Amino acid sequence: MLSIIGGALATAPAGAAGPAYVALGDSYSSGVGTRTYISDGTSCQRSTKAYPYLIAQARGYTLNFQACSGAKTADVTANQLGALNTSTRYVTISIGGNDAGFSDVITECAKPAWASDCSGKVNTANSFITNTLPGRLNTLYASIKTKAPNAKVVVVGYPRIFNGEDCNAATWFSPDDESRLNATADLINSKISAAASAKGFTFANPTSRFIGHAVCGDPEWLNGLSNPISESYHPNVTGHASGYYPLVSPLLV
């Protein structure tokens, strides 16, 4: 049974209402990169190929799909937390990358070295992730815990984008650029993990699953430079099905 009501996608076996599962967060949860999106009257780019939908479908959970492309912590608080209540059984969330401006960092680092301040952008992002992001995460996670006190909450991290090569003709990532961007992904995961642990939430780290399957991997689970540009550097259909789904699904029980 499928229904789309008020932008929320609900899935459950016919004739039964499964446990309530709310998927919060940004484009890595909504399914940007899969190229197939639900027509729900929003620009959130939610996909039936995204891991929250795959989990709900497989487990018979009733999905309230709130994750939205471009979301920052403040957007989750303002626009997504209303879906939570005392009946919520499961919650997933990926958030923090947009707060840190990670897409702008990648865009800067993709330029030729003579036209790029990749190092400066990375340093700024790392400073934000270290000094500002933890407070935002702590506040948001506390709100989730208050609004859904009976839920199992899984906080989902970000993969490293690169394997050590750049096979896209229109980008100029150096090996050092790629190494520093991967280190930034590790840094944000460490801060997210610490904040999640402090609230008793489970952290799902996708780093190991995407090794060998990052941009230019074989097979590639993360899109490289894409058309439209918004699809770039996000998990594709296989990235959700073979990367995130088997990582997160066993934790939502």
Q: What is the set of active-site residues?
A: 27, 234
Closest by alpha carbon to 197, among 248, 141, 127, 146? 141
Distances (CA, A) of 152 to 145, 155, 202, 226: 10, 10, 8, 35
